[in-house]
Amino acid sequence: MLRLTILTCLTAICAAQEPEAPTATHMEVLSEAVNELQNAIAQGARHEFQRPLAAIRQTIASLRDPSAQHPQRKPASVWLQAIEESATAMSRNDGTAATDEFDMSRLRAACTACHLQNRTDNDVRGIFPNRNNALFGNLKILSKDGKPREDMSGAVVFLEGELKPAGPLPRKPTISQQGRKFLPPVLVVTVGTTVRFPNNDVVFHNVFSRSRSNPFDLGTYGKGKERKVVLNQTGLVRVHCNIHRDMAADVLVLENRYAAVTEADGFWSIPDVPDGEYRLRVWHPLADVKPQVVRCEGSVAKPIAITVRQTKSVVLHTNKHGRKYRSSY
């Protein structure tokens, strides 16, 4: 993920350079450096950090500022600086694993933000204007006994406040049925979005939701078929299959697109945040989290650490008729 983000970021930046810029060389150096750095962090081998970090800093420094040729892309220089500063911070931190991971998150956020500054059309994240701030961090999920969970994915970090409401996202939100599972298990959309539910499985499924905000029943359909539903109300939509009781997914319908779903390591980032003060909220199916106030200004990448503790237990759901499932498939 980090490698892909950095390479995509640099591809966009290098595209704005004059033809003589050694793009291929930059890409090779960054690719090797990122791989080496990730391996060193995973092994806790801090004595192996310096070489890849130096390579990252030198490569970033060798790239010319695209704002000289493209004044409308002036923010790109800010993110180039943020990437270099993140790499520099990793070379002189206190040596703890938590600090290494946090500085790596800063590096990833800066790369993501720079990429979004230079490429507005992104099939995965949608379309973002070339301006404003970025929020990012690592969310830690603790079990009831206080121990960190191995998988930190599935939480949603989002903003509330005076933000312009957004219509449906430009991408096509999809939850597929595959291996008797919903993929992805957590999805964030804006009000009015059409969500697709293709059946890529070898068995029949009956996708439904008994949520108060957006109830629906797509009926039973087989492999290669697809059904759709428009989500016109904000709120949580719990999705299940009326045939397979273990299948579950959550769709969070929001008024704006300033949200992110955490990755397995807890990393999240929200780019293109306008200047202002907002409530940063976290949704997790097994926890209630108090919102915190954040302020963004000056086109900066702002790190935010979040810790979530499990307070709820998994509750078995009923079928679409409100009754217990007869059997498990």
Same domain? For 227 and 328 the reply is yes
The number of C-alpha atoms within 13 Å of 105 and in the hemisphere containing its C-beta is 27
Please state, rounded to an integer, the average pLDDT across all residues of the chain. 77
For residue 75, is the peptide bond before it cis, meaning its omega torsion is within 30 degrees of 0? no
For 65-89, how does the pLDDT look when each residue is reduced to its tens digit (9 = 90+)? 444 343 333 344 555 666 666 666 7
Contact 50, 87 (CB under 8 A): no
Q: Where is the domain boundary, 87, 119, 151?
A: 119
| 46 or 122, greater pLDDT | 46
Domain contains 170: yes
d(CA 175, CA 163) in angstroms, rounded, equals 27
d(CA 280, CA 155) in angstroms, rounded, equals 13
Q: How many domains does the chain have?
A: 2
Same domain? For 24 and 109 the reply is yes
**Predicted pLDDT at 91:** 65
Which pair of structure tokens corresponds to residue 287?
Answer: 């926890």
Backbone angles phi, psi at 124, to 5 degrees: -85, -45
d(CA 232, CA 254) in angstroms, rounded, equals 10
pLDDT average, residue stretch 24-45: 71
| 306 or 61, greater pLDDT | 306
Q: Which helix (H) or strand (E) holds 42?
A: helix 23-43
d(CA 114, CA 101) in angstroms, rounded, equals 20
Same domain? For 98 and 196 the reply is no
For 250-284, how does the pLDDT look when each residue is reduced to its tens digit (9 = 90+)? 999 999 989 999 888 788 888 778 889 999 999 99
Domain contains 166: yes
Domain contains 128: no
The total of other beta-carbon atoms located within 10 Å of residue 89's CB is 15
For 37, the domain range is 1-119
Domain contains 51: yes
21-25, 187-191, 204-208 — most confident range: 204-208
Domain contains 127: no
For 206-242, how does the pLDDT look when each residue is reduced to its tens digit (9 = 90+)? 999 999 999 999 999 999 999 999 999 999 999 999 9
We report the CATH number of the domain holding residue 263 as 2.60.40.420
pLDDT bin (cut points 50, 70, 90) of residue 295 is: very high
Domain contains 220: yes
Q: Where is the domain boundary, 73, 91, 119?
A: 119
Q: Where is the domain boundary, 85, 119, 153?
A: 119
Q: Which helix (H) or strand (E) holds 227?
A: strand 226-231
